[in-house]
Amino acid sequence: MFRRRPDPLAELGAAAGTIVYAQRVRIRASATDLRIPGRNQVSRAVRLLRGSAVVSADHLTVAYRQFIAIDGALREDPAAPCQVSFGIDGIHISIDLTAALRGVPGKNSGTADIFVQLAIAAEQLDLLAPRAVAISRQQISAISRRI
């Protein structure tokens, strides 16, 4: 018999100020024209995963099973390489790998998209505006390796 592992974001989801907390949701991670040194280059890749997400007024966290893929502050920066938007169908995150990994040795290029499929109520959507997510180069590299 299989035992479910506890959700790594359960404690964060129960915290005050949480607008959206979704567990055991579908996550679609995809990449186009992905080129990362030490990895195969692919023109298109898609992975379907299960995970959880927590959104507060100023923070976004997304986990694939036990791996915390995105853990960053939400801020107003239209030129940032990692952007997030919210819709009634879920959370859309797009990452420009070329801009995000500029300065890292080797030819890094491509785009990555993460879509967390969940229903967001209209009252919650009113509190969420499209913004940038401040995540580190290490997080971006880990995301690109797992697509």
Q: How far is CA 141 from CA 17, 42, 67, 119, 132, in A?
A: 29, 15, 13, 29, 18
Q: What is the pLDDT of residues 127-142, one digit of tens each?
A: 999 999 999 988 988 8
- Cα separation of 133 and 130, whole Å? 10
Residue 82's DSSP bridge partners are: 95
Across the chain, mean pLDDT equals: 89
CA-derived radius of gyration, the chain: 15
Give the three-class secondary structure for 30. Answer: strand
For 91, the token pair is 């959370």
Supply the pLDDT for residue 1.
53
pTM check: above 0.75: yes
Burial class (CB in 10 A: 0-12, 13-18, 19+), 38: exposed
- Give the number of C-alpha atoms closer than 13 A to the C-alpha of residue 114, restricted to the C-beta side: 28
Burial class (CB in 10 A: 0-12, 13-18, 19+), 30: middle
Residue 18's DSSP bridge partners are: 56
Q: Which residues of the chain have pLDDT under 70?
A: 1-3, 39-40
